[in-house]
Amino acid sequence: MNKAPPASKLGRTAITGLALAQAGASKLGHKARQMLRSDDDKQLAQERHEAEIGRILFKALNQLKGSALKVSQLLSMEADFLPEGIRRELAKGCHQVTPLNRALIHKVFQREFGMAPEHLYAQFDAHAFAAASLGQVHHAQLAGGQQLAVKVQYPGIASAIGSDFRMLRGIFQTLAMGTIVLPSKEVIDRFMHELEIKMAEELDYEHEAMQLNWFHEHVNLPGIVIPKCLEEMSSKRVLTMEKLEGLHLEAWLATAPDQAQRNHYGQLLFDWFWYSVCELGRVHADPHPGNFLFMPDGRLAVLDFGCTNKISFSFCDAMARSWRALKMTDEVERNRLLRLAYIDLGLFADTVTQAEFDSDIMAALAELHAWKMEAFQSTHFDFSNKSSYPKTMNAEHSRLLSGVLVGWHEDVPYFDRAYLGLMNMLKKMGAVVNTEIAWTKQGTNHVNTN
């Protein structure tokens, strides 16, 4: 029988402490063995070590569930935050989560509605058909036959968020000391602070219901489906919505779709992202594969709107100018416009001279720029050929940037996370997509600021 995640600080700290001890022992053993290995064996051993650290972390985060496991999902999509081996293991948080038992689910309904779920719905399946970080999803039915998906939050999750984030900061700061490459303490603290704010919103299902209905009302993109929320059967800890039929990415790929199908759904994904940014002025900021359903009628369903972010005009304008600059063939004008856009995005202070930008910053960012723009060099791009996100910068480039980077626009992390999630999904699908977008054309701007 599956147990609830530990709600007490002592219980959750014990899980975290064990994970840190295991990770520390793994690091020490790996470091000692690396000294005896040949150069040819060291890279493979490093990848295995990263995967082992990832497995240790995921086991602990899966036990903690809640905000801890949600961070696992998000970190799996932060290519510049963790090594690939760790991210691959943490990505299991998108699907492989242990569900809760029937008694605990009934406890949530009694607390929220004063009745068992069987009295709220005509039918309710006590066995979850999907389990995620903050809750799990059950099938239900109304008396008229309408099929529903009911998301139920894990008990005790909301009360543990503060202590969870303090422990998570400790985990990543400890792992940063040694062989695992992580950002500085300041970057980790800011990243965790922003996640904690968004997590508080995501733990409030009434907030998610409002976001879900906003997108359901405003999205008018052919082929994209947003489920409707039933507010009268929803609360802070229970979210009831219409159930949509379809397959998640891995299950869909297992059906061996042909190239035409891959291209069709790939174009829907690509168009959905840019429609959200450029038309809606809001981005679905939790873009892991578990939040999309490939429907049998050719439509794409977008799920889970607990983590969304409004995109400001100032961000869109500066980001669009940076993308258009990167497509320019005139190197002098490209660098001039790019410097101004990056200053407006909060990446650099205006004290960075054009000469410094041309000689140092452009060299340090060359690989990242190439990765970002490779899909936009022609009207169509085969994402099976998409290169991997650039690895950690070499020491010289990292040194050059560390002295001039001052931060980022508040919308940058959400846009980057959603964009990287899109790139990863399209690559996995092997889709050929028409990549012409307004952002890469001169004289165009963000059109909606809802």
CATH code: domain of residue 210: 3.30.200.20
Name which of 311, 327, 342, 341 is nearest 438 in CA terms: 327
User: At 214, which helix (H) or strand (E)?
Assistant: helix 205-218
Are 271 and 252 in a shared domain? yes
CA triple 433-436-439, angle to 5 deg = 130
Are 237 and 257 in a shared domain? no
Are 118 and 232 in a shared domain? yes
Distance CA 181, CA 183 (A): 7
At residue 410, φ and ψ (nearest 5 deg) are -60, -20
> Does any domain span residue 194?
no
Strand order through the sheet with 292-294: 224-225, 300-302, 292-294
Could you tell me the two tokens for 212?
Answer: 């879900």
Are 46 and 64 in a shared domain? yes
- The model's pTM is 0.77
List, in order, residues 6 or more apart from 251 with CB less than 8 Å away: none
Q: How many domains does the chain have?
A: 3
Are 236 and 163 in a shared domain? no
> Does any domain span residue 403?
yes
pLDDT for 447 equals: 44
First CA to last CA distance, the chain:
46
pLDDT for 336 equals: 97
Name which of 370, 413, 426 is nearest 81 in CA terms: 413
Task: Give the C-alpha distances (Å, rounded to integers) separating 124 from 99, 118, 128, 346.
Answer: 16, 6, 10, 50
DSSP secondary structure letters along 288-354: -GGGEEE-TTS-EEE---SSEEEPPHHHHHHHHHHHHHHT-S-HHHHHHHHHHHHHHTTSB-TTS-H
One-letter amino acid for residue 8 of the chain: S
At residue 432, φ and ψ (nearest 5 deg) are -100, 125
> Does any domain span residue 60?
yes
Mean pLDDT per segment of 10 residues, for the chain of length 450 residues? 53 63 59 53 65 71 64 61 63 57 86 95 92 83 96 80 72 59 63 76 89 95 96 95 95 97 98 94 85 96 90 92 94 97 92 93 91 93 92 64 77 88 94 89 49
Are 36 and 180 in a shared domain? yes
pLDDT for 371 equals: 93
Helix H, strand E, coil C: the string for 244-280 is CCCECHHHHHCCCCCHHHHHHHHHHHHHHHHHHHHHH
pLDDT for 57 equals: 72
Parallel, antiparallel, or unpaired: how do β-strands 432-434 and 380-382 relate? antiparallel
pLDDT for 275 equals: 95
Are 329 and 218 in a shared domain? no
Angle, helices 66-75 vs 185-202, to 10°: value is: 120
> Does any domain span residue 198?
no
> Does any domain span residue 195?
no
Q: For the chain, give the longest Cα–Cα distance.
A: 70
Are 235 and 251 in a shared domain? no
> Does any domain span residue 387?
yes
Percentages (nearest 5) of helix, strand, coil residues in the chain: 55, 10, 35
Could you tell me the two tokens for 353?
Answer: 């001279």
The label of the residue with tokens 């690989």 reads 367
Are 397 and 318 in a shared domain? yes
Distance CA 175, CA 169 (A): 10
Q: Which domain holds residue 128?
A: 101-153+204-243
> Does any domain span residue 287?
yes
Are 444 and 357 in a shared domain? yes
> Does any domain span residue 218?
yes
Are 208 and 345 in a shared domain? no
